[in-house]
Structure 1
Amino acid sequence: MRSIRRTATALALALVGMAALGGPVAARADGADRTGSARCSDHGPHSIGDAFRSDPNTKIVKVKAFYKGDYLALPGTPLNPLPSVANNDVCLVKLLVGPGNPGPADAPSTSEGIGMEIWLPQHRQWNDRSLALAAGGWMGDRNVASPDGLASAIGGRDNGQWAADDGYVVALSDGGRRTRADSVYGGRGEGMFSPDGSINATGWRDLSYRSTHQLALKTKVLTSYYYGRSAAHSYLVGGSSGGRAAYQSAQMYPGDFDGILAWAPSIQQTQLLPSDMYGQVVVQRDLGGRPIAMSKLNAVSRAAVNACDTTVTGRHDGYITDFADCRYNPVKDPAVLCVSDGGTNTTPNCVSPLQARAITKMWYGATPDGSVPSPEVDNGFNIRRPAGQIWWGRTPGTSMIAVAGSVNGVPVPFEIVADQIALNLQDPSYATSSFQTPAGNGQDRWKSLSYAEFAAMMHRGKVLNPAFANIDSDNPDLTKFHALGKKMITFHGLADQTVSPQSAISYYTRSAKAMGGLTAEQRFHRLFLVPGMGHCAGTCAGTAGGSNPPMASLTKMLGAVISWVEQGKAPSSVEGTTLDGTASRPLCMYPRQATYRGGDVNAAASYRCS
């Protein structure tokens, strides 16, 4: 059996190696697509290299032709799992767009420019569309600008597969940031500090908006040169920080894309990211640094779902649809409180009243003094935050791993949120210990923040937003985007464990006010809230306990954008389906919700949006 595994591994290595060098059919052509006006090559007459010869800021890193049957792989591509296989011929172009940010070779702020990957399907396979994919987090995938590696999959698919299978010109960037395998530094938010500790203005600018804008421009140049004509329609898809970048594109460069799909956009980053640390701050201040075990957090979350998930059908859905009316208070629920504290729960997952109150704080969100109203009075699900609610917490029932995670009694904070705290305070020591810069390293000083200091840190982030190249991306005025006839869809899971869905609702209502009302906003921008969906593109559930909610995939939502742009079919609902295909339900355009009309509770036809 062991020899069989060795043989299979050797075969896989051989196949990938062949693919990286052009595959067994490489000799049949020089990379040219004979039906087009340019060749898939970086040199010679009519080559792709000619498209950027006169652009001093653009460097071609690699041009590579893949043929049907080749593995979509370069020499540095991981072999486990095996790379995807090209189902059609496709041409890969890697670019580096300067000027970048010069500096010490080992400093995370040093950059040669913005790395880009652009995938071009064969001419007869091209669907006349371009599709830009904006990555999440701090971006920074080092493989984008590498001649030997490929970017990580976005949207659950290898990026070349979007081009080879669906016929899009596909483009993505690294946001002007890269991790370095040969560096002592990591690849999170460290690059936003210059070596002297000052703000890396170039890095913030590239990440905030320039990388997406330049990606649009370079893709248009390359597409026109390669095919001899421009794309009929251009689209942008981004989730999380990629959704934030999508909003920035609509606000600053409304002419770049015809249609935009943003899911779970992490707009107002200076507030959103630090707010995810509030649960850990509550643990430090109220519980003496002793985390609540995940099993206990999950038990209380399940109790919240059980108390609030019958509003649609009268039966338990396993996820909450209407949070406005969810007033569950674990402090008053004997079923989750330990017997020793006057409750009735005899299991190891019971909680004390102090722990139950801490959980309500995590649900409500940050306040200047650590106080929290009773959920019966204010459950925190506010479109407009009242005085004292600095930011939103997690919706009840949502997994708490991102805001209060721990392992064996040791807090495990979401590291990138500590990065933003350090950046808001302009002091690296507030980050986690893995945060390392020439100006100083992380020392977990976030643990020392009082409630008042946490509130001051959040305010400091707002003040610094202009210096951070307006990374918050929350300008509600989309007048130019609308005037150009562009369309946008935002969809957000109501059980998002990382980005509070209230932030998307709040932005949408502010934008509607700026645009002249909800009806005016809906003419070009529509919001869909997905009950039970977590921080993902319709492939996961965020409710603790493993519910199976009907969700819409990224490709289905992209299809809705395309139909709106190209056929004028504005979506008022999209059918969501459970991952196992056993149930469906309409996902309604905000502010409508699915209401049950009678019949099979698992059939979308039994509901209407009202």
Structure 2
Amino acid sequence: MFRFCRLLSFDVSRIRALLAVVALAACSNAHAASYVTKHCDDLEGKNVPASIIGLPTRGATIVSAWVVKAAAPGNRNGEYCRVTGFIKALQDSTPDIRFEVNLPSRWNGRALQMGGGGYNGTIVSGTEPMPFAPDSTPLARGYATFGSDSGHVGNAGRADFAGNDEAIVNFGFGHLKKTRDVALALIQMGYGRTPEKTYFAGGSTGGREGFTVIERFPNDYDGVIANAPAINFSGVRLMGVRVGQASYAKPGGFVGVAQQRRVFETVVHECDRLDGAADGIVGNVEACRKLEPQIIASLRCANGQRPSLRDSCLSDAQIDTLQTLRDGVTLPYPLAYGLDSYPGYNVFQGVDFSGTLGLGDSPTLLNPPTFAANGYLFAQGDAYVRHFVTRDPGLGALTFDLDNPGRFRQRLVTLAYTVGAMNPDFSAFIAHGGKLIAMHGLADEVISPNQTIAFYRGLIDRYGKDIVDAFMRLYMVPGFQHGNGVFIPAWDELGALDEWVSNGVAPETLVGSDIAPATNGRTRPICRYPNYPRYLGKGSINSATNFRCVEP
């Protein structure tokens, strides 16, 4: 028999009562926590009605519910009730949204929705550590956690679900609201009350999702963590198309892996010490930018030299490809919110494009392109054109005319609104008292850090620095790429956010511990933008205490 705080049934007619009945709210925290695990398995097979979900669905069904014991093999989260289910799409042809909700026995009164990555397609379990806090999980810290697959099943690198309009809306924003509302209903049932604070945290696509909930559902969240946010989602995909065309549509445009590595090593040689420390990190990116002309000159083949993809100078066509990466994309027409551009990358300021998410290792274009052979940016951009834009899997992006897309122009605009997060109106989130911590690596090779900076500057232009400082912190991390790099920071973002939201203590300079294998354990200040960490000139360069955050 199913019981939560003495209720004897769990059917559609009683769900509404569960959300409002005073008897639930009267349960003590300890009493409710005992019920959440004692009667966890009774949830299986029950339904959550569409009426309590803020966007149109056909309701949710709980597929499984069981207690994960603290001593279970591999469990690092303590005892919790694990609930899985699906939210039924409106159309039979649309995949359902699969979700997971975790209700810890020792609840701290907070809920955390965790974002996905790439094109999603796999359930975010909510049982893993935060990306930059590997030593503990939010669930182990008492957070009720939840996530979803965003409304389709598949590899995070595949875009073939986009033939379905409802699936695109779910991926863009719908799954966030739908999953959140179902999860909070389950939390209410389990503990007898809604969370005191509800947070969102994610990176890359999850970072875009963080900005999305601020812009679309500002009253649902008290705080957001958004790392490397792919906010201009259409822009980065069109950037990939432009780079692929420079690499493969022009003779000799492809830049080999060894050549790209040489670019990185040349930049480090010229710019490493501009932050006062020879540590392999290009810390003072703006000072390095001033050296760009001489860096390019040293890389360009002299008269009579012939480039080799294995190890050599770079031809004019190859330099043009890198400058395309640097310059970004500017369109002769606006997309969402009047935006007509995507800023380029810090190609000549410390980005290493020779890795697994780089420019690829083959001068031969595959059909369709692959990450390994033809580069992450182009492979993703090509998939976007095939599946999202033209919906013609046989139409590759090599000949797609970005400047004159013809009948696809309005499609590009519509998609930019649906799957992007570039709405600069944060007024409702500000009025709600919400807080945002955003972090981005200055050496990111997948999502341009300059787009995040541009959006931040736009908020300051719109609201003024004092208002932005009251709700947002932006941290730009030198040497950090898209989950990799010569410096990979470990730091407690969630703790910083909760302290700000709950106690009003706004984060300032933080400290990151490097988890890159070669330099594991060294520390650096994590500086608020636009500052960067500069070595003071004495003491160990592996200790953050010997650095100060200064303006470029």
TM-score where L is the length of structure 1: 0.72
CA distance in structure 2 between the aligned counterparts of 1:471 and 1:34, rounded to whole angstroms: 39
**Equivalent residue runs for 1:225-236 within 5 Å:** 225-236=189-200
Which of 120, 137, 147 is equivalent to 2:118?
137
> Residue 495 and residue 326 in structure 1: after superposition, are their counterparts in 2 closer, same or farther (change >3 A)?
same
Contact kept, 8 Å, 1:135 with 1:238, in 2: the verdict is: yes
Which residue of the partner structure matches residue 19 of structure 2? none
> Residue 584 and residue 167 in structure 1: after superposition, are their counterparts in 2 closer, same or farther (change >3 A)?
same
Deviates more, 1:590-599 or 1:570-579: 590-599
Which residue of the partner structure matches residue 473 of structure 2? 526
Contact kept, 8 Å, 1:43 with 1:50, in 2: the verdict is: no
Deviates more, 1:398-407 or 1:88-97: 398-407
Which residue of the partner structure matches residue 115 of structure 1? 98
Which residue of the partner structure matches residue 309 of structure 1? 272
Matched, 1:426 2:400: no
| One-letter identity of the residue aligned with 2:510 | V
Which of 136, 141, 163 is equivalent to 1:193?
163
Which residue of the partner structure matches residue 102 of structure 1? 92
> Residue 359 and residue 155 in structure 1: after superposition, are their counterparts in 2 closer, same or farther (change >3 A)?
same
Which residue of the partner structure matches residue 239 of structure 1? 203
**Equivalent residue runs for 1:393-408 within 5 Å:** 393-396=345-348, 397-401=350-354, 402=357, 404-407=359-362
Contact kept, 8 Å, 1:487 with 1:525, in 2: the verdict is: yes
CA distance in structure 2 between the aligned counterparts of 1:203 and 1:285, rounded to whole angstroms: 32
Matched, 1:583 2:522: yes
Which of 58, 62, 69 is equivalent to 1:60?
62
Matched, 1:212 2:195: no
How high is the sequence identity, in percent, across the aligned residues?
22
> Residue 151 and residue 169 in structure 1: after superposition, are their counterparts in 2 closer, same or farther (change >3 A)?
closer
Which residue of the partner structure matches residue 602 of structure 1? 542
Does the residue aligned with 1:534 lie in a helix, a strand or coil?
coil
Contact kept, 8 Å, 1:338 with 1:345, in 2: the verdict is: no
Which residue of the partner structure matches residue 20 of structure 2? none
Does the residue aligned with 2:248 lie in a helix, a strand or coil?
helix
1:498 is displaced (CA, Å) by: 0.3
| One-letter identity of the residue aligned with 1:120 | L
1:574 is displaced (CA, Å) by: 1.1
CA distance in structure 2 between the aligned counterparts of 1:535 and 1:354, rounded to whole angstroms: 27
Does the residue aligned with 2:398 lie in a helix, a strand or coil?
helix
1:134 is displaced (CA, Å) by: 0.7
| One-letter identity of the residue aligned with 1:169 | A
Contact kept, 8 Å, 2:118 with 2:157, in 1: the verdict is: no
Matched, 1:272 2:209: no
Contact kept, 8 Å, 1:335 with 1:343, in 2: the verdict is: no
Contact kept, 8 Å, 2:535 with 2:548, in 1: the verdict is: yes
Contact kept, 8 Å, 1:236 with 1:260, in 2: the verdict is: yes
1:154 is displaced (CA, Å) by: 6.8
Once the two structures are superposed, what CA deviation does each residue of 1:463-487 show, in whole Å capped at 9, x if it has no partner? Answer: 6443565321111111111111111
1:393 is displaced (CA, Å) by: 3.5
Does the residue aligned with 1:216 lie in a helix, a strand or coil?
helix
> Residue 94 and residue 35 in structure 1: after superposition, are their counterparts in 2 closer, same or farther (change >3 A)?
closer
Which residue of the partner structure matches residue 379 of structure 1? none
Contact kept, 8 Å, 1:63 with 1:91, in 2: the verdict is: yes
Which residue of the partner structure matches residue 295 of structure 1? 258
Which residue of the partner structure matches residue 126 of structure 1? 107
1:457 is displaced (CA, Å) by: 4.7
1:520 is displaced (CA, Å) by: 1.2
Once the two structures are superposed, what CA deviation does each residue of 1:104-132 show, in whole Å capped at 9, x if it has no partner? Answer: xxxxxx31x2111001111xx22222111
Deviates more, 1:276-285 or 1:230-239: 276-285
Once the two structures are superposed, what CA deviation does each residue of 1:246-279 show, in whole Å capped at 9, x if it has no partner? Answer: 1010111112111100000001111112212332
Does the residue aligned with 2:402 lie in a helix, a strand or coil?
helix
| One-letter identity of the residue aligned with 1:189 | A
Contact kept, 8 Å, 2:258 with 2:310, in 1: the verdict is: no
Matched, 1:552 2:489: yes
1:456 is displaced (CA, Å) by: 3.5
Once the two structures are superposed, what CA deviation does each residue of 1:130-176 show, in whole Å capped at 9, x if it has no partner? Answer: 111010111111x57xxxxx6895745999x8365222211001111
> Residue 240 and residue 282 in structure 1: after superposition, are their counterparts in 2 closer, same or farther (change >3 A)?
same
Gaps of 5+ in 2: 1-30, 52-57, 333-338, 366-372
**Equivalent residue runs for 1:318-357 within 5 Å:** 318-323=281-286, 325-329=288-292, 336-337=299-300, 341=304, 348-357=311-320
Matched, 1:593 2:541: no
Matched, 1:448 2:399: yes
CA RMSD of aligned residues (A): 3.6
Gaps of 5+ in 1: 1-32, 72-83, 104-109, 145-149, 181-185, 195-199, 370-386, 429-440, 542-546
